Amino acid sequence: MKEIVVSGIRPTGKLHLGNYFGAFKNFLTLQEEFNSYFFIADYHSLTTHPTQSDMAGSVKRVLAEYIALGLDPEKCTIYIQSDLPETAELYLMLNMNAYLGELERVTSFKDKVRSQPNNINAGLLTYPVLMAADILIHKGVKVPVGKDQEQHLEMARTFGNRFNRLYQTDIFPEPQAFSAGKELVKVPGLTGGGKMSKSAGDADTIYLDESAETLKKKIMRAVSDSGPTVPGAPKSQPVQNLFDLMSLVCKTETIEFFDQEHKNGSIRYGDLKKQLAADMENFIAPLREKIQDTLNNEKRLDEIAKFGAEKARKNARETMNAVREAVGFKKN
């Protein structure tokens, strides 16, 4: 039997470069070989945006991007998380054996406590439980995600193993975070901080359909530093970020050239940014066009979501019946 792949992205706007290189690029390769489930995590988006003004539009947007960027509904199962009530039922069951102490220690929860002190809701606390339910409902073993999701995957293993132990069953396998490269990916943003993230603001983020003009402006305004103080000085974080972004879209010779210039102390960041903007435009231009074309085809998107939900539910129902039986409930 083929190994099962599961992953999702929250519909909080357009997909960005971090989503693409952290997760989506792997979706594309995995759909060829494995039994893959890729969904749009709309339940999860409620933890930070409980009253999103255009939920349906945001979901459709991500669905269109999935298709435009190359997911094939014939090769993998593409669905919307809230079309699968079985996920919510498994989440409920797993919550009974998820403990306050372990949930409060999760880094992403602690970050949110700092960033949204007026909305520390229970959904935020149990975010990793819902994520475990997403994966375990399909008995997923490979989970393509970016570096920031590593701890959530560890929790998914904990909850799955705990369920198996408590109910003396072997329903759930152990899911592992997956990256085709050596390590899980972290794409930095343009404002000199950590990972690229929508919550760090528009200036931090490169969207996959960014217009040529905005793309250039954003990159030319990216944070750097005042130049290496002495030849051979180590790169500052904002400059390392620019090199990390170059590694995604520039040729090796280009990176080596600027690296040498930095070592010599003669680097001109304006030149580096111009080159990065040009290479980024080459990467983005075809994506921008495909996304626009797909967004215009609403009927096809509705059909894809319906088809995906049916396929996903068939699998989810089977798992849920085994879970209900293990717990002592009747099958549905």
Tell which positions 14-53 bind ligand TYM, by CB under 6 A. 18-19, 22-23, 41, 44
The dihedrals phi and psi of 51, each to the nearest 5 degrees, come to -125, 50
Whether the CB-CB separation of 43 and 13 falls below 8 Å is answered with no
- 290 catalytic? Reply is no
| Of the residues 40, 187, 276, 309, which one makes contact with ligand TYM according to CB under 6 A | 187
Binding status of residue 186 toward ligand TYM by CB under 6 A: yes
- 14 catalytic? Reply is no
Q: How far apart are CB 121 and ligand TYM at their closest, in Å?
A: 16
CA angle 297, 304, 171 (to 5 degrees): 155
- 306 catalytic? Reply is no
Give the Cα separation of 261 and 268 in Å (integer): 8
Give the Cα separation of 261 and 328 in Å (integer): 67
| Of the residues 185, 219, 272, 276, which one makes contact with ligand TYM according to CB under 6 A | 185
The catalytic position among 147, 195, 274, 290 is 195
Q: Sign of torsion, CA 206 212 213 219? A: positive
Q: How far apart are CB 90 and ligand TYM at their closest, in Å?
A: 12
Would you give the DSSP letter of residue 22? I
Nearest residue to ligand TYM, scored by beta-carbon proximity: 22
Please, which residues bridge with residue 142 across strands?
Answer: 5, 176
CA angle 175, 176, 181 (to 5 degrees): 150
Q: How far apart are CB 327 and ligand TYM at their closest, in Å?
A: 22
Nearer to ligand TYM, 156 or 267 (CB): 156
For binding to ligand TYM (CB under 6 A), which residues are involved? 6-10, 18-19, 22-23, 41, 44, 131, 134-135, 143, 145-149, 185-187, 195-197
